[in-house]
A and B are shown apart, each in its own frame.
Chain A
Amino acid sequence: MPTLAHPEKRLSFWKKYIFSTDHKIIGIQFLMTSLVMFLLGGLLALLLRWQLAFPGKPVPFIGNLFPTSMMAGGIILPEFYDSLFTMHASLMIFFAIIPILVGAFGNFLIPLQIGAPDMAFPRLNMASYWLVPPAAVIILAGFFLEGGAAATGWTAYPPLSEFEPIGQNCWLISVILIGTSSILGAVNYITTILNMRAPGMTLFRMPLPVWALFITAIISLLATPVLASALFLLLLDRTIGTHFFLPQGGGHALLWQHMFWFYSHPAVYIMILPGMGIVSEVISVHSRKPIFGYHSMIYAIMAIAGLGFIVWGHHMFQSGMNPTVGTSFMISTLVIAVPSAIKTFNWLGTLWRGNIRYTPAMLNAIAFVSMFVIGGLSGIFMASTPVDIFIHDTYFIVAHIHYVLFGGSMFAVFAGIYYWYPKMFGRMMNKPLGILHFILTFIAFNGTFFPMHILGLGGMMRRIYDTTQYAHIAHFQPINVFITINAFVLGMGQIPFILNFFGSLLWGKKADRNPWEANTLEWSTTSPPPHGNFETVPQVYRGPYEYSSPESKQDWLPQDKPAGHGA
């Protein structure tokens, strides 16, 4: 049972902001770290986009600052290019999207939305954050070692990854650390959600972000250990001469792909389910309507998580895996589109006959729905094994993954930040800057990633250093230039966000308890909430999305408001 919130104790700066066990501070630590990594990952992407648009042309302004092992006279070398795309994906997936969605929002929201004073295991929680900075240092250290950072793609397929320089070891150790962090977080989330809900907060009264994070934590707990073992086996191959993934010693390179994708496909859902939860919340609040089909939303999340464990083989259709197995993976993969479709239709149903308020958070949430539709539909092409023969390992898949992970996850992250910023920091973000950021990001995002579908249809392979080498893709070069220009605008478009984020900390309008007139428990406490979250243990009377209820004169009805007092 949650104890009564205790008055804020006098804590030293170190205890309060650095080695904090407060879930809110840990959430904010995850957020800050991940945003820095997001920025870094984005800069790496811009460098590699330069090479793709202007192969062999020196990088302007900063090209000469790089050592000769990375650039020759400002020209990106193939070795460095390979590190760039590897590290871009690794930073974005392992250090930006997963830690923001799961680490930052998971930590910040779960106790607040279920009415708990903190996480079940605050010290475990602190440990899960403090594994991230060393992991980040180790993976980035690769850039300064002989042979450069890991350069075998974020998938690190052996046998290639068996023979690459030392940077690959850094990558392996770092991802093992970050995986451990995920596992610790998952244990904590599951325990907290199952044991520390406020009185009256039944499972089916939980807000959808909590549901999504709960299911995500179960996926993490089941899948991450498999990744950790694969990483460890590869590390053993590289360091003490085992042959788990080397055919000449009796191992098999396909084993890695099975283990890796057994984690990494569910990981795609780790990266999208919390986003779906956030977006459901934001859309319901801003439409002033209950979420359409609350239960079917939850069953859809469960279905995605369950099916997510039996679709990994669709990454391996062309790998040499028995094609008959490919057939069963094709069917499971096509079926997983059904719960995704259900969620999309339910979001539309929520908007239908609503009273829609437009804020930066809502704009980003709507963009999520719109972009996720594209990412979902393009997935059907790849799920169909014969079509996949052609588009596998082309830019079509690069387009697809970015529609899901940027168009999906990142727009959800932006929606979540704009929405919960007042609760996190007690100040409002600037609305015009937020809208400017949204418009720039939305247009440049589509300008960057939509044309990649076309490149993929032309047969342009992923991970090639020079796109002008092949006759069948050379004439696509103008599209590559167009994409790169948009990518730079997309990068520039994040400047208003950075200004807004940090500027609002200092100059933002003070936020009151419930600026969005929302129902969930976090809005019934102060902004920001005190240590221990709630002045009194909240009593929950109803579900989270009773907007525009006839029970209440206003168009919202908080979860902890006793019945009959609404009028």
Chain B
Amino acid sequence: MKSKKDGIDETKAPLHKSIKKSRPLSDFKIAKRAAPLCLFLFRSLLLSGMFSASAGAATLKGKVSLEGNPTANPVIHMDADPVCKAFYAEEVRVPSVLVNPDRTLQNVFVYIKSGVTHTPEAPKSPVVLDQKGCMYHPHILGLQAGQPLSIVNSDSTLHNVHALAKKNAEFNLGMPIQGMKLEKTFFNPEVMMKFKCDVHPWMGAYLGVLPHQFFSVTAESGNFEISGLAPGEYVVEAWHEVYGTKSETFKVTHTDETREVNFNFSASQIADEASGVSIKTGVPKPVRKSFDDSTALNKPRKKTGWWLPESISTYSDKIDFLFYVILWITGIIFFGVQGALIWFLIRYRRRPEAKGYFTHGNARVEIIWTIIPAVILIALAFMGQKVWAEVKMTMPGAPDKIQIRIQAEQFAWNVQYPGADGKFDTPDDIRNINQLHIPVGKPVQVTLTSIETADKRAVIHSFFLPEFRLKQDVMPGMAIDVWFEAKRTGKYEIACAEFCGLGHYRMRGFLSIHSPEGFDAWLAEQAAA
């Protein structure tokens, strides 16, 4: 049996790879093409799995229960998307704490944390994460590193699947079309990786990426079962999104024994989502940050109508001023010329038997209407040059300016901070994807480059901060510096303004402008992580 399985891997796996390499095809198409093959592999693996289980390996069984009365799950308001709202006649709640009448707890991810010595190759069959009814199904899931995850959109609305991966590549992809599929593979174990939808903030799912297949999610019964364990000493951990983790050690001595481990969570002990630290309910969550900057970050954005966006950089008002100067000048010319045109059309409409005024022109008026526009236009050039020089021709000299590198790829912004040592490409560098954090009131100098990754090309992007009135193309083969300084705090966006391929329209980054103390705290927190 083992040899058969290896045989399958050898013959079929390269074929699968070769399909993947036959770019350019969207992930979506690849998933379609590979589906029958995956199904075949899945069946073969299932057979081999059953065979090896019955060959005499131990099984771990147990149940997870909850003590005390949990607080109610938050209600979801779907008013923002009528498509979602239409799915539900009744109130919907976030499916985070699901307790059975017998006090057992659903949606607990139970997995072997350590002790597994032999790890088989990852199955080729994909695990499916479905976006259906504007919820993720399943809510909790697991897979082995290297095993594909197939993300499906079953809704007729746009979902934007955002994997908040920490040990794997983060991604943030729009899925505009019903029936669309995406296939993603994670290569590093990570428990747990949160998925959220940037369009529908209530949507969440948790994925456990493990180096093996020994995991289980407590189902409606609250029970779990992990089979196929070889003799040895193991640590098993139960993870719940609200109640944190609990672990137990157990030993397997005989190949066909069945061990039982039960977990008991307490409703009064909930975990901080980010840290997993257990705390008492009723007490506010401890602020893990050394500084709470949420007031600065959540400072409401000024409402703008159908006109220029907010102006928040030190030079944006100057650019807007120049814009208004030109608007006034061209506005006056516009009304003058169109007014004269309409006046002439009415005043000099045809009169029968009349003739036009016979003239071939007048040199003096020709000179006047040559010189006046020329003077105005040259003056505009001079006015413009001053601002142009400030924005694009000089870089800030301040010694305490923030230096950041942004590497644009198809279709994301990789942000790099030099870290405590102030030097780039050292181990203490802070790296982020699509998340740019800057302080208010300090010049920021960003070096822009375009990079290629495994299956993506270095192409031209354009770094666009609408509210800063800043735009700069990112040119492959060049490192281009830009600078900006924010006048206020808050959350804004980075857009790509140069067409860069299929995902151009969703090459969106997020900009957080902190208070100076908040930025320092954020840096410290990033350095610690």
Contacts and interface: CB of A to CB of B under 8 A. Distances in A.
A376 to B, nearest CB: 9
A296 B389 CA distance: 36
B499 interface: yes
Interface string B166-187: 0000000010111110000000
A79 B502 contact: yes
A11 interface: no
A253 B388 contact: no
Interface in B466-522: 466-467, 469-478, 480, 492-493, 495-506, 508
A355 B473 contact: no
A461 B156 CA distance: 25
Contacts, number: 301
Nearest to B458: A159
B354 A355 contact: yes
B318 interface: yes
Nearest to B463: A318
A78 B26 CA distance: 10
- Interface centre among A349, A468, A555, by most B CB within 10 Å? A349
Interface in A95-113: none
B462 interface: yes
B207 interface: no
A512 interface: no
A389 B470 contact: yes
A513 interface: no
A472 B493 contact: yes
Q: What does DSSP make chain B's interface, helix, strand, loop or mixed?
A: mixed
B330 A386 contact: no
A392 interface: yes
Interface in B360-388: 360-362, 365-366, 369-370, 373-374, 377-378, 380-381, 383-385, 387-388
A122 interface: no
Interface of A: 55-56, 72-73, 75, 77-79, 82, 147, 152-153, 157, 159-160, 162-165, 246-248, 252-254, 287-290, 292-296, 318-320, 323-324, 326-327, 330-331, 334-335, 337-338, 341-342, 344-346, 348-349, 351-358, 366, 369-370, 373-374, 377-378, 380-381, 384-387, 389-390, 392-394, 454, 457-459, 461-466, 468-472, 475-476, 479, 547-550, 555
A392 B348 contact: no
Contacts of A326: 388, 392
B506 A469 contact: yes
A355 B348 contact: yes
Given A292-B361, A393-B497, A384 B350 contact: no
B360 to A, nearest CB: 5
Given A318-B472, A464-B505, A385 B356 contact: no
A462 B497 CA distance: 7
B457 interface: yes
B341 interface: yes
Interface in B370-424: 370, 373-374, 377-378, 380-381, 383-385, 387-389, 391-393
B326 A380 contact: yes
A320 B348 contact: no
B320 to A, nearest CB: 8
B113 to A, nearest CB: 39
B117 interface: no
A381 B326 contact: yes
Nearest to B478: A320
Given A160-B457, A253-B477, A390-B319, A147 B24 contact: yes
B389 to A, nearest CB: 8
A374 B334 contact: yes
Contact of A471 (B308, B361, B362, B493): B493
A373 B332 CA distance: 12
23 contacts: A56-B156, A79-B502, A159-B458, A287-B356, A295-B361, A320-B480, A334-B380, A337-B373, A341-B369, A341-B373, A355-B355, A377-B333, A378-B330, A390-B466, A392-B471, A393-B497, A454-B306, A457-B308, A459-B309, A461-B497, A472-B466, A547-B356, A548-B357
A334 B377 contact: yes
Q: Which 5 A-B pairs have the closest CB atoms?
A: A247-B477, A459-B466, A353-B357, A289-B356, A293-B361
Contact of B340 (A293, A348, A475): A348
Contacts of A82: 499, 501-502
Contact of A153 (B333, B344, B493, B499): B499
B355 A288 contact: yes
Contacts of A147: 24
